[in-house]
Amino acid sequence: MIALPGLTLATGRAEEARDILRTFADFFDRGMLPNRFPEAGEEPEYNTVDATLWYFEALRVYLEATADQELLAELFPVLEDSIGWHETGTRYGIRLDAGDGLLRAGEPGVQLTWMDAKVGDWVVTPRIGKPVEVNALWYNALCCMIHFAGQLGVDDTRYRQLAERARAGFQRFWRGDRGYLFDVIDGPQGNDASLRPNQLLAVSLPHSPLAKSRQKGVVDVCAKKLLTSYGLRSLEAGNPDYRGHYGGDQQRRDAAYHQGTVWSWLMGPFVIAHYRIYRDAELARSFLIPFRHHLRRHGLGSISEIFDGDVPFIPRGTIAQAWGVAEVLRAWWFLRAAEGGSNIGVGSRADDGEGGTG
């Protein structure tokens, strides 16, 4: 779902996007999408909290590019059901907290976010509680539902109420003493103040629950502490758990996978977040320039999955990674649309967290 806009819509293949969205809709179960499609005869695996929420955003971008009201009408009941399951509770402790309007998720021994490295019974970054990007995606999905309902002439009161509660509750993530967002709140050990790039989604997604001043704080601290030539570090270098080199046996590699390793896909959210704050397309595009050189130096013509967190940022992992390729394409597409005055890929509105849930 992260890769869909960049690989299909940015490349002019809307029909393929439509087919993918319809196919994935058939696999919703208890309001969730699987994170792994099995081989013939096997059951899908549903240990993911964010894949479902990314579906709402992928559909939003598709609809902006195509105005395909027929597909929206077909899929809207699936989306309604998914929101209901998140409210009442589904697998792995994924459930709305009525107290603050945020989603909580997680059980011991299960990895549910994109930071999903696991070695045997060891979950490297369990992130049990309320992860920041999950709740940015939750708020964005609710705002998408408001927009979808409006397009179909459906009452949107329920989604407005949920979105407003989520927006208000999201302010709990703000760490005023450091000027950025907690990575997870209400976890088994309290709030996790590790500086990670997940918070960028609270700015890069078209509907932000944050005021502009706080959005700027997020972008600036990520630029200062996490940005590299080929993506963002998954953990700041000053953290005791930071691993700047991805290598060794499986345990050592997985221990570093989300503990400092640079991920190329994160350049997309960073570039878009940076543009939303500074409104300088040329400057935002400059962050993509190093990939021109990378395309000729490693997996020829493509983009690597990950890079070392330490200089010289040696490429690691797969030599051609779908979401890394997709997010660089999407960021480029986004900036072209922004410069040309088009809403395609940009979002019908970029909220500032102060004006409600339009």
- Tens of pLDDT, residue by residue over 148-172, are 999 999 999 999 999 999 999 999 9
What is the pLDDT confidence band of residue 9, given thresholds at 50, 70 and 90?
very high
CATH number of the domain bearing residue 233: 1.50.10.10
pLDDT at 349: 43
Q: Does residue 356 fall inside a structural domain? A: no
pLDDT at 257: 94
Residue range 280-312, pLDDT digits in tens: 999 999 999 999 999 988 888 999 999 999 999
**ω into 312 cis (within 30 of 0):** yes
Give the count of domains, the chain.
1
Q: Does residue 145 fall inside a structural domain? A: yes
pLDDT at 134: 98
Domain that holds residue 334: 4-340
Q: Does residue 357 fall inside a structural domain? A: no
Residue with token string 């660089």: 328
Q: Does residue 169 fall inside a structural domain? A: yes
Neighbours of 146 (CB within 10 A): 21
Are 216 and 222 spatial neighbours (Cβ–Cβ below 8 Å)?
no
What is the pLDDT confidence band of residue 357, given thresholds at 50, 70 and 90?
very low
Q: Does residue 234 fall inside a structural domain? A: yes
pLDDT at 214: 98
Q: Does residue 336 fall inside a structural domain? A: yes
Q: Does residue 347 fall inside a structural domain? A: no
**Average pLDDT, stretch 81-97?**
97
Q: Does residue 249 fall inside a structural domain? A: yes
